[in-house]
Amino acid sequence: MTGTSSDAAPQFSYPIPRTSPNEPPCEYAKLRAEQPVCPISLPTGHPAWLITRYEDVKTVLSDHRFSREALFRDGAPRAQLIEPDSNSVISMDPPRHTVIRNLVNREFTPRRAENLRPKIQEVVDTLLDDMARRSAPVDLNATLARPMALQIICELLGIPIEDQHKFGSWCDHFMSLTKYTAQEIIRSNTEMRDYFDRLIVAKRAEPGEDLLSKLVQAMDEEEKITKEELISTGVMLLLAGHDTTVTVTGGGAVMLMTHPDQLALVREDPALLNPAIEEIIRLVTPGDGTFIRITLEDVELGGTVVPSGSAVIAPISSANRDASVFRDPDTMDILRDDNKHIGFAYGTHFCVGSALARAELQIGLRTLFERFPGLHLTVPPQELRWRMTAALGGYEEIPVAW
């Protein structure tokens, strides 16, 4: 039986509170079983539909009837207080998305990520050397996750090391859902865009082998990307390469510390490191469907017809816990067969930096637990502070000793 409603009463306010950064809202399991397409309200007060089953989430992420570009139509629902960036590749649909994505893919290759592995190892070794000299407890986010992610994405983009301190606050503002006012977010975004504008001028004058220099060259020689689009692409790559990596590195370390049986398996057989990383990516999914889409026509999902012009949120964190796809979905199991997680999204907007993220997680977590075999939390897991008002969530601090 198929139901439809253009004015269904919202049953939840988005985002639905979590009990832990590593756990999606407990309501998702019940919704998958009983109401996989559920009316909700966004932080802006706009109505939307929450999609929770694995196959339905994949449909939303890959079907052309669910549009990112339609967010810019007059009166379109929004999830955040500020207007989304129409020049960002994450806000585009094909064919424009394809043009920009191909330019980025051409430079942001798995080979480039592979070539960065020695640099990642060097950065991690230096950070852990400094950590070893400190008195415990230390914050694992401050000593490893944040500086590793920031240094590597800045290395990739060609951002001078002396400027890297500026980005922590900018990223925090940009990814906020409710922590800051619209004026504060707009001011921070303006500062970040102005910085990338100046950086583009510098790259044009003195190009390097970094990703941003290559994109500036493509802008000047091929005229396939505008300056505003290039600025937005730089901002997107910085935010995605920093905040998501911090969230999963910290969350992954907590998962391993709180699942010593799984950590023991990796220590006994190093070949299990990669499956362990994939299981971490499945379980520690940053964000909760932050990037909404708009239906371009009436679409049936999960037995419900979602009307044309509706906002749809499809949280990957729910899809990755779907019991119809994953056996014992809430259990960490690095021996899991056929781990078909969609932690890096799916379809047109599949994460362009997935190879780099995997390299950072593999090197960062492997080296951390090799250097500090007795690493443990100094507070119970349930007492860890976390970022409840940020789009990507994650732990605020992770105090550890060894």
> The domain that contains 69 carries what CATH number?
1.10.630.10
pLDDT band per the 50, 70, 90 thresholds, residue 178 = low
Q: Are 247 and 148 in contact (CB under 8 A)?
A: no
pLDDT over threshold 80, residue 7: no
Q: Tens digit of pLDDT for each residue in 261-272? A: 999 999 999 999
Domain span at 210? 3-401
Instruction: Give how many domains the chain has, as a whole number.
Output: 1
Give CA 275 to chain center in angstroms. 20
pLDDT at 113 over 80: yes
Tell me the sheet residues that pair with 47. 41
Q: Which two tokens stand for residue 2?
A: 């198929």
Q: 10 Å Cβ neighbour count for 111?
A: 8
pLDDT band at 303 (very low <50, low <70, confident <90, very high): very high
Whether residue 379 is predicted with pLDDT greater than 50 in this model: the reply is yes
Q: Which of 159-173, 205-219, 249-263 has the lowest mean pLDDT?
A: 159-173
Residue 238 has a pLDDT of: 87
Q: Which residues contact 334 (CB under 8 A, 6 or more apart)?
A: 262, 265, 266, 272, 275, 276, 279
Which amino acid, 359?
A
- What is the rounded average pLDDT of the residues 149-178? 81
Q: What pLDDT is stored for residue 86 in this prediction?
A: 81
pLDDT surpassing 90 at residue 107: no
Question: Whole-prediction pTM value?
Answer: 0.92
Residue 295 pairs in a beta bridge with 66
Mean pLDDT, to the nearest integer, of 54-66? 97
| Per-residue pLDDT tens digits for 341-372 | 999 999 999 999 999 999 999 999 999 999 99
Residue 1 has pLDDT above 50, yes or no: no
Residue 287: the pLDDT is 65
